[in-house]
Structure 1
Amino acid sequence: MTETALLGVRHHGPGSALAVGAALAQFRPDIVLIEGPPEADALLPLAASKEMTPPVALLAHVVEQPSRAAFWPYAAFSPEWVALRHALDGGVPVRFVDLPAAHMLALATSDDEGEKDERGEKEKHEQGRQGEQRANPAPHLDPIGELARAAGQEDAERWWDDVVEHTHPAGAGGSTDANPDAADALAPFRALADAMGELRTGVPVTPGDARREAYMRKQIRAAAKAGHARIAVVCGAWHVPALAPKVSTSAADNALLRGLPKLKVELTWVPWTHRRLSQATGYGAGIASPGWYQHLFEANGRQVVERWLTKVAVLLREEDHAVSSAHVIEAVRLAETLAAMRGRPLAGLAETVDAVRAVLCDGSDVPLRLIEDRLVVGDALGEVPEGAPAVPLQRDLTRLQRELRLRPEARVRSLDLDLRRELDAARSRLFHRLTLLGIDWAVPARSQVRSTGTFRESWELSWEPELAVKVAEVGVWGTTVEAAASARASARALEAGRLGEVTALAESCLLAALPEALPVVLRCLADRAALDSDVEHLADALPALVRSLRYGDVRATGAGLLSELATSLAVRICVGLPAAATSLEPAAAAALADRIAATHSAIGLLATTLASTRTETQPAEPGAERTGPDVLEQWVACLRSLVRRELAAGVVRGRATRLLLDDGRLAEDETARLLGLVLTPGVPPAEGAAWVDGFLAGGGMLLVHDQRLLALLDAWIAAIPADVFPDVLPLLRRTFSRLESGVRRSVGELVRDGMSGRDRPTDAPLGFAAGFDAERAAPALATVQLILGTGETK
Structure 2
Amino acid sequence: MAIHILGIRHHGPGSARNVKQFLEQIKPDIVLVEGPPEADGILQWVTDKELVLPVAILCFQPENPQQAVFYPFAEFSPEWQAIQYARKNNIHVRFIDLPISHKFALDAAKEATTPAPADDADNTSQLNSDQDEAQQPLSPTGEEFTESIDPKNLRRDPIHELALAAGYDDGEKWWEHMVEYRKDTSAIFEAVEEMMGALREAYPNADDNMEQLREAHMRKVIRQAEKEMFGNIAVICGAWHAPALKDMPKAKEDIDLLKGLPKVKVECTWIPWTYNRLSFASGYGAGIRSPGWYEHIWHHPHDDGTRWMARVAKLFREQQMDTSVAHVMEAVRLSQSLAALRNLPKAGLEELNEATLSVLCMGENILLSLVNDQLIISDRIGNVPTEIPKPPLQLDIERLQKKLRLPATAEQKEYTLDLRKETDLQRSIFLHRLRLLKLKWGNQSSVSGKGTFKELWTLQWDPAFSIDIIEKGTWGNTVEEAAAKFVMQEAAMSDELRVVCSLLEKSIPANLPAAVEALINGINNLAATSDDVVQLMEVIPALVNVSRYGNVRNTDTTLVMGIVDSMITRICISLPAACVSVDEDAAEHLLELFRKMTEAVNLLQDEALTDQWQQTLKLIAGSSSTAPVISGYATRLLSDYRQLQGDDLVKRFYQSMSPALPPATAAAWLEGFLKGIGTILLLDEGLWSVVNSWLDQLPEDVFMQVLPLLRRTFAHFSQPERRKLGEKAKHGGTGIKSRQTITELDIERAVQGIPVVMKLFNYPIQIPQ
Alignment match of 2:458 (pick from 457, 460, 482): 460
CA separation of 1:339 and 1:428: change in aligned 2, threshold 3 A: same
* TM-superposed deviation, 1:362: 2.1
Q: Which amino acid aligns with 1:268?
A: T
Residue deviations 1:606-634 (CA, integer Å, cap 9, x gap): 2x3xxxxxxxxxxxxxxxxxxx3111111
Report how many aligned residue pairs link the two structures.
724
Aligned to 2:134: none
TM-aligned CA deviation for residue 298 of structure 1: 2.4
Give the CA deviation at 1:662. Answer: 4.1
Aligned to 2:79: 80
Q: Counterpart of 1:571 in 2: which secondary structure?
A: helix
The 1:676/1:24 distance shift into structure 2, 3 A limit, reads: farther
Query: Retained in 1: the 8 A contact 2:52–2:382?
Result: yes
Structure 1: gaps of 5 or more residues: 120-134, 168-178, 609-627, 761-765
In the superposition, relative to structure 1, how do residues 137 and 365 fare at CA in structure 2: closer, same or farther (>3 Å)? closer
Q: Is the 8 A contact 1:70 1:282 kept in 2?
A: no
Say if 2:727 and 2:735, in contact at 8 Å, map to a contact too: no
Q: For residues 654 and 411 of structure 1, what CA distance do their matches in structure 2 show?
A: 52
Contact 2:278 / 2:284 at 8 angstroms: preserved in 1? no
The residue aligned with 1:408 is 408
CA contact (8 A) 2:58 2:68 kept: yes
Matching residue within 217, 220, 231 for 1:218: 220
Q: In the alignment, which residue of structure 1 is the partner of 2:630?
A: 652
Check the 8 A contact 1:686/1:728 in 2, yes or no: no
The SS at the match of 1:475 is helix
Residue 58 (1) aligns with residue 73 (2): no
Q: Superposed, which structure 2 residues align to 1:316-327 within 5 Å? A: 316-327=316-327
Q: Which residue of 2 aligns with 1:244?
A: 246
Shift of 1:236: 0.7
Residues 108-117 or 192-201, more deviating: 108-117
Tell me, yes or no, if the aligned pair for 1:63 and 1:264 is still in contact at 8 Å: yes
State the secondary structure of the residue aligned to 1:61.
strand
| Match in the other structure for 1:161 | 176
Equivalent position SS for 1:576: helix
Change (3 A) 1:702 1:518: closer
Partner of 2:165: 150
Which deviates more from structure 2 when the two are superposed, residues 248-257 or residues 577-586? 577-586
Residue of structure 1 equivalent to 2:514: 516
Q: 2:421 is aligned with what amino acid?
A: R
In the aligned structure 2, how far is the partner of 1:651 from the partner of 1:117? 46
1:68-107 paired onto structure 2 within 5 Å: 68-107=67-106
- The corresponding residue for 1:267 is 268
**What letter is aligned with 1:393?**
L
TM-aligned CA deviation for residue 85 of structure 1: 1.7
Closer, same or farther: CA 345–519 of 1 in aligned 2, 3 Å: same
CA shift in 2, pair 1:392/1:792, >3 Å: same
Structure 2 counterparts to residues 96-135 of structure 1, below 5 A? 96-116=95-115
1:630 aligns with 2:608: yes
Aligned-partner residue type, residue 616 of structure 2? C
Shift in Å at residue 73 of structure 1? 1.3
Deviation sequence 1:245-302 (CA, Å, 0-9, x none): 4x21111111100111100111111111111112487974422222222222222223
Give yes or no for contact 1:215–1:253 (8 Å, CA) kept in 2.
Answer: yes
- State the SS of the aligned residue for 1:384: coil
State, as a whole percentage, how many aligned pairs show the same letter.
40
Of 574, 577, 584, 1:576 maps to 574
Partner of 1:68, secondary structure, is: strand
Give, in angstroms, the shift of residue 200 of structure 1: 0.6
Q: Which residue of 2 aligns with 1:703?
A: 681
1:116-153 Cα offsets, whole Å, 9 max, x none, are 3999xxxxxxxxxxxxxxx9966654113132123232
Match of 1:484 in 2: 482
C-alpha distance in structure 2 between counterparts of 1:160 and 1:678, whole Å: 80
Does the CA contact (< 8 Å) of 2:591 and 2:630 recur in 1?
yes
> Who is 1:203 aligned against?
204
Paired with 2:620 and 2:284, the residues of 1 have a C-alpha distance of 63
Q: Is 1:335 paired with 2:313?
A: no
Correspondences of 1:227-242 after superposition (within 5 Å): 227-242=229-244
Aligned equivalents of 1:422, 1:376: Cα separation in 2: 40
What letter matches 1:286 in structure 2?
A: G
Alpha-carbon distance in structure 1 between the residues aligned to 2:66 and 2:166: 44
In angstroms, what is the RMSD of aligned CA positions?
3.3
- 8 Å contact from structure 1 (residues 500, 537) kept in 2: yes
Aligned residue for 1:39, secondary structure, equals helix
Pick from 585, 597, 600: which aligns with 1:587? 585
The CA deviation at 1:476 is 1.1
Taking the aligned partners of 1:160 and 1:317, their CA distance within structure 2 comes to: 34
Q: Check whether the contact 1:658–1:698 (CA below 8 A) recurs between aligned residues.
A: no
- Specify the SS of the correspondent of 2:382: coil
State the Cα deviation string for residues 477-508 of structure 1 (Å, max 9, x = none): 11111111111111112112211211222222
Give the Å deviation of 1:540: 1.6
TM-score of the pair, normalised by structure 1: 0.84
Specify the alignment match of 1:549 in structure 2: 547
Partner SS for 1:512: coil
Query: Residues 735-783 of structure 1, C-alpha deviation per residue, up to 9 Å, x if partnerless?
Result: 12xx2x54344334445xx243xxx8xxxxx6667899569x9999999
| CA spacing shift, 1:370–1:549, aligned 2, 3 Å | same
Over 3 Å counting, the alpha-carbon distance change for 1:542 and 1:252 in structure 2 is same
Q: 2:333 & 2:652 partners in 1: Cα distance?
A: 77
Q: What is the distance in 1 between the residues matched to 2:311 and 2:226?
A: 47
1:535 is matched with 533
- Please give the alpha-carbon distance, in whole angstroms, between the structure 2 residues aligned to 1:744 and 1:459: 38
For 1:638, give the aligned amino acid: T
What is the aligned partner in structure 2 of residue 132 from structure 1?
none
Contact 1:57 1:269 in 2 (8 A): yes
Unaligned runs of 5+ in 2: 119-149
User: Which residues of 2 match residues 729-740 of structure 1 at below 5 A?
Assistant: 732-733=714-715, 735-736=716-717, 739=718
Structure 2 match to 1:127: none
**Equivalent residue of 2:188, what SS?**
helix
CA distance in structure 1 between the aligned counterparts of 2:681 and 2:701, rounded to whole angstroms: 19
CA distance in 2, matches of 1:53, 1:675: 75
Query: In 1, are the aligned partners of 2:667 and 2:706 still within 8 Å (CA)?
Result: no
**1:148–1:668 CA distance, 2 compared to 1 (3 A):** farther
Deviation at 1:565, TM superposition (A): 0.5
Judge conservation of contact 1:685–1:728 (CA < 8 Å) in 2.
Answer: no
The separation in 2 between residues aligned to 1:541 and 1:266, in whole angstroms, is 43
Q: Deviations over 1:52-102 (max 9, x none)?
A: 112211111111111111111112222111222222222222111101110
